[in-house]
Structure 1
């Protein structure tokens, strides 16, 4: 463990000594909460329709798929007309696109970004690498199945999928959201211990907070 994370005695400017425990003081071990649907079905249907028409993307360019996401916002494909737009931070986004293979080191940052997103949130796995490891299936330093570490609402297969396939993926995701079946965030909350155990199994230096409040 890094020295700055260890429990220690600190002396303040006034000479008073006190104990600090960064792990307990600054890191949150709280599990995410399950968000049940609204009791009135017509209201929940309205919410789901609004969510499906407001796809705000956090794109994590982990591999080859990043180059295929850029043309989506050009005049040729114009994803804006479908209510799709890119956001700069996790807390402004509701769709997380993992675009390619994931190394163990990158997985740590991906988890951290996902846990900063507000629910309801969705995950799209882009390319074969997120499904079965793709061409890196036998690498010692890449994960093979994204859904063992984060809940995946939709996969877009291919190596790599073209922008047209991405647009079809957005359309399919919208249908899932409208039907009230995009339950990835709740699945993560319900099976939090299982996901966290899988994450910590491959990430050895777990020096990061859990953003699940």
Structure 2
């Protein structure tokens, strides 16, 4: 590439592709999830996220759910700061030696009945660092995991689908 074409490439206006402002599949899953949450809880679903030693990829996707693009609160899903306000603990990452006790205490602080959902390959026990010297293993090594959403990391849509399947599983158990 010549210097002139390189400079023209840098300075010329860029043309962006078409940007989709609505994800119809996400909207559909969200509406169905809202009806399942209403059926199971009669109100919103409060989630407390616990990072048990992850690489932050699953947390980024969970945080994306709260952005204006996804806005999961309109579907009845809210993230809470205290486990005392949570219906579900979402745990991400492999359980490291340093965080195991804190994760247990978080679970113990949650009101009953409480559920635990492992999100991401590391929390499900199939991630890259599962055999590391500083890792106890998957989330189910220290907590009673009720449901797993695998992925490295799972996308916001996959997380929503997982939550929908989880709501249906809770409803079937009664």
What TM-score, normalized to structure 2?
0.71
Aligned to 1:66: 59
- Secondary structure in 1 matching 2:128: helix
Change (3 A) 1:56 1:95: same
CA contact (8 A) 2:40 2:170 kept: no
Question: 5 Å matches for 1:74-153?
Answer: 74-153=67-146
Which consecutive residues of structure 2, in runs of 5 or more, have no partner in the other structure?
1-37
Change (3 A) 1:148 1:130: same
How big is the alpha-carbon RMSD for the aligned residues of Structure 1 and Structure 2? Answer: 2.0
- Secondary structure in 2 matching 1:136: coil
Question: 5 Å matches for 1:2-41?
Answer: none
Which consecutive residues of structure 1, in runs of 5 or more, have no partner in the other structure?
1-47, 182-213
Deviations 1:63-108 (A, max 9, x none): 2211111110122222112210011111111110111122111111
Deviations 1:159-204 (A, max 9, x none): 11111111111111111122236xxxxxxxxxxxxxxxxxxxxxxx
Please list every run of at least 4 consecutive aligned residues from structure 1 whose deviation after the TM superposition is greater than 3 angstroms.
none
Give the Cα separation in 2 of the matches to 1:53 and 1:100.
Answer: 29
Aligned to 2:8: none
